[in-house]
Amino acid sequence: MKAPRMIFSLLIFALLPMAIAKPHPVDALANESLIEKSLIEQAQPSSTESAFMQIGGSAPLRFVPPPPPERGHPTGRSEGGASRGSCHVAGDLPLTAIVPFADGYISPSREGVEASAATSFATGTNTTPNASSLTTKGHPSFWFYVPYSLETTSLEFVLQDENNNTIYQATLSKEMPREISDSSFDSDHGIIQIALPESVPALALETSYRWFFLAYCQQNDPDFVEGWITRRSPLPSSLADELAIASPREQAVLYAQNGIWQETLTVLGEQYRDNETNLEILRDWASLLESANLEHLTQQPLLDCCEIE
């Protein structure tokens, strides 16, 4: 009788590892649920993307920078300096050119340049981000954030060719032609648009131009930003055809995907300025600025200012 009992015991010991290795059905379901939950969480968008999708139902608009040019320009100055003399500064943000903040071509030094016949200024070593962008238009728009009160500040815009010849120069008046009804936009400082007039010769293809934007709080000591803009070759016919039938948002997306900053900003900026309560446009505006490292400007008002004197 001992032999059968011994055989039975050996059989139990042989089957015991199999019993231990096989999980309980409830445990198996729990593990499966954990794995499924993990996979679902990995597939879910981030909280920011989820919020965007709930608001607009489409992916946020983001700018895709173009490849750097083979021949770099001297680095621009995309942000101004500290507050100047009697200037009334609203907040802590400096005078800013609304161009993508990216590492650019840093020159070891930049000699003084003449921004106009009556104004000159000099700077030393420049380590600010490269202020340059692309356009497809012969008469593009330029955008700037002005932190100073427009009631006490004179503004000037200068455009030069690569040989430092001034091809356009304008002084901007402080009057705002459009009454702003929304109290959040009732401000004398903010983001402004400067459109190159049709009376000025169109920018040449594959040619770079240097611009200066100056804010005068003291006559001989302006705060300023500067940079470069290049008009690229005509768009491929397929892209031009898409743009011709696209909605304003679709146009902004197409421009952004092809690295055309000026038109992306202008199409979307004009939409946002005229429809500041539209949540989808607000979402796109914030996303565009964030993709260009300009998220600190997303809360600044867009002003319908200024008139050219």
Global pTM value? 0.70
User: Residue 282: what pLDDT?
Assistant: 94
Q: pLDDT-derived band of residue 138, with 50, 70 and 90 as boundaries?
A: very high
Q: Quick one: tokens of 147?
A: 């932190």
Domain 96-297 has what CATH class? mainly beta
Geometric angle at alpha carbon 61, from 43 and 188, rounded to 5°: 135
Distance CA 169, CA 157 (A): 6
Strand-pairing partners, residue 144, are 97, 192
On average, the pLDDT of the chain sits at 72
pLDDT tens-digit map of 181-212? 343 444 678 999 999 999 999 999 999 999 99
d(CA 73, CA 272): 31
Q: Where are the domains of the chain?
A: 2-44, 96-297
